[in-house]
């Protein structure tokens, strides 16, 4: 009898909830009404067809990409039109993921599940996918890791220069976020949230642009200028952009390996800004990017996006002893900030 009761208790914990619904192609995103917990194991199975015209009828895995797809910004870039996609919460920083005909994954954080069609809001199709969603409670590795989390101290924060410089020593962007974690974890978290490592040289850009064109993918890795921190240029530069506007507008940041560790984990210092157009560089009158002066928005966007990788244990804000609340970049753009630095802790 005791064994039977134990088996029933375990079965109740492991039993999956289940819901069936239709994802209509007349709109990009559909609220499933399913609220998930961090660590839940979710399985989505789908069938049906979506029609854009008589020559383009898609299943849940999406249509094969063509050259014209390179000029269109679907919710999930570099994926075919009509694919069934998903995201956790309706937050703009939530990165969509491919669902297709069958997908199982662990939810990175608590939130509402949205399912959708990889299509344009102004050019939707007809038809629907019939979807079965099953979810069961799992154990969040983030919750376990948070119990043993070391903390960045005020002294450590103040030891990191508050601003980057150009090669001539002119002050530039504010260092507005710090990541604690190994290089492998950092790259994995960024790759999982659609951040692209930018090319370092024009030669790399030409070759990369050619290869992405041949594979019918959108090129978003346009090089960014070198800036310095700790006496050297950035270790990595990352970008995230609308393929149609990548020349003019993109999210981007530079990141440096700091000369310190925290409980054996590497500390990284990052400076993020949002390019929103073009302007003249006050130093030589050449054309350069103009940034959004409210730089805290880009800092927060970077942090919110990384959470959806499932590799972030904790995020918190910390105020340097001497905060930078306004200034000008090396190219002459003015910026403002509340002065806080975002601390992002990855799973150890």
Strand locations in 263-333 (E): 265-280, 287-291, 312-318, 326-328
Residue 231 per-residue DSSP state: T
Beta carbons within 10 angstroms of residue 275's beta carbon: 22
pLDDT at residue 205, as a whole number: 41
Strand pairing partners for 346?
312
CA 347 to chain centre: 17
Residue 184 Cα distances to 87, 265, 303, 311, angstroms: 24, 11, 18, 11
Report the candidate in 55, 186, 184, 41 with the shortest Cα–Cα distance to residue 107.
41
pLDDT at residue 3, as a whole number: 42
CB 109 within 8 A of CB 146: no
CB 140 within 8 A of CB 39: yes
pLDDT at residue 269, as a whole number: 98
- 250-262 vs 265-280, strand pairing mode: antiparallel
Q: Tell me the pLDDT of the chain (348 aa) as tens digits.
A: 444 444 333 344 445 799 999 999 999 999 999 999 888 999 999 999 999 988 899 999 999 887 676 667 788 877 889 999 999 988 777 888 999 999 998 888 888 999 999 998 888 999 999 999 999 987 665 655 565 788 899 999 999 999 999 988 999 999 999 999 999 999 999 988 888 888 554 444 444 444 444 444 444 546 678 899 999 999 999 987 654 444 556 788 999 999 999 999 999 999 999 876 545 445 454 545 567 889 999 999 999 989 888 889 899 999 999 999 999 887 788 899 999 999 999 987
Domains and CATH numbers, the chain: 2-139 (2.60.120.430), 143-346 (no CATH)
Residue 244 Cα distances to 77, 241, 269, 288, angstroms: 11, 8, 30, 18
Strand locations in 218-264 (E): 228-229, 232-233, 236-240, 250-262
3-state secondary structure 93-149: CCCCEECCCEEEEECCCCEEEEEEECCECCECCEEEEEEEEEEECCCCHHHHHHCCC
pLDDT at residue 348, as a whole number: 79
pLDDT at residue 250, as a whole number: 78
- 265-280 vs 287-291, strand pairing mode: antiparallel
pLDDT at residue 266, as a whole number: 96
Rounded Cα distance, 166 and 30, in Å: 46
Strand pairing partners for 273?
252
pLDDT at residue 156, as a whole number: 96
Strand pairing partners for 80?
none
Give the max Cα distance, the chain. Answer: 84
Report the candidate in 144, 132, 86 with the shortest Cα–Cα distance to residue 111.
86
Outline where the chain has alpha helix (H).
2-14, 141-146, 154-158, 183-192, 202-214, 296-307
For 248-302, write each residue's pLDDT tens digit.
567 889 999 999 999 999 999 999 998 765 454 454 545 455 678 899 999 999 9
- The model's pTM: 0.68
């Amino acid at each position: 009898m005791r064994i039977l009761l134990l088996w029933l208790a375990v079965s109740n914990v492991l039993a999956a909830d289940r819901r069936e619904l239709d994802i209509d192609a007349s709109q990009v995103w559909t609220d499933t009404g399913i609220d998930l917990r961090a660590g839940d194991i979710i399985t989505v199975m789908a069938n049906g067809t979506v029609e854009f015209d008589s020559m383009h009828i898609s299943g849940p895995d999406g249509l094969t990409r063509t050259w014209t797809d390179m000029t269109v910004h679907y919710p999930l870039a570099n994926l075919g039109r009509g694919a069934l996609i998903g995201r956790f919460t309706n937050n703009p920083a939530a990165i969509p993921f491919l669902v297709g005909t069958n997908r199982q994954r662990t939810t990175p954080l608590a939130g509402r599940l949205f399912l959708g069609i990889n299509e344009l809001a102004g050019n939707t199709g007809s038809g629907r996918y019939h979807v079965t969603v099953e979810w069961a409670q799992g154990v969040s590795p983030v919750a376990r890791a948070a119990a043993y989390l070391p903390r960045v101290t005020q002294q450590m924060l103040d030891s990191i220069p508050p601003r980057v410089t150009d090669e001539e020593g002119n002050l530039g962007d504010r260092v507005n976020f710090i990541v604690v974690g190994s290089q492998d974890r950092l790259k994995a978290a960024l790759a999982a949230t659609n951040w692209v490592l930018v090319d370092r040289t024009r030669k790399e850009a030409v070759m990369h642009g050619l290869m992405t064109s041949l594979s019918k993918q959108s090129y978003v890795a346009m090089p960014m200028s070198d800036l310095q921190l700790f006496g050297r240029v950035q270790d990595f530069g990352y970008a995230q952009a609308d393929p149609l506007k990548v020349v003019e507008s993109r999210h981007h940041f530079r990141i440096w390996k700091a000369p310190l560790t925290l409980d054996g984990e590497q500390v990284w210092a990052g400076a993020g800004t949002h390019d929103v157009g073009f302007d003249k560089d006050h130093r030589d009158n050449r054309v350069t990017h103009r940034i959004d002066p409210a730089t805290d928005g880009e800092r927060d966007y970077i942090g919110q996006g990384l959470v959806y990788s499932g590799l972030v244990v904790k995020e918190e804000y910390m105020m340097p002893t001497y905060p930078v609340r306004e200034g000008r970049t090396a190219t002459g753009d003015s910026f403002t900030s509340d002065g806080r630095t975002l601390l992002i802790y990855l799973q150890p």
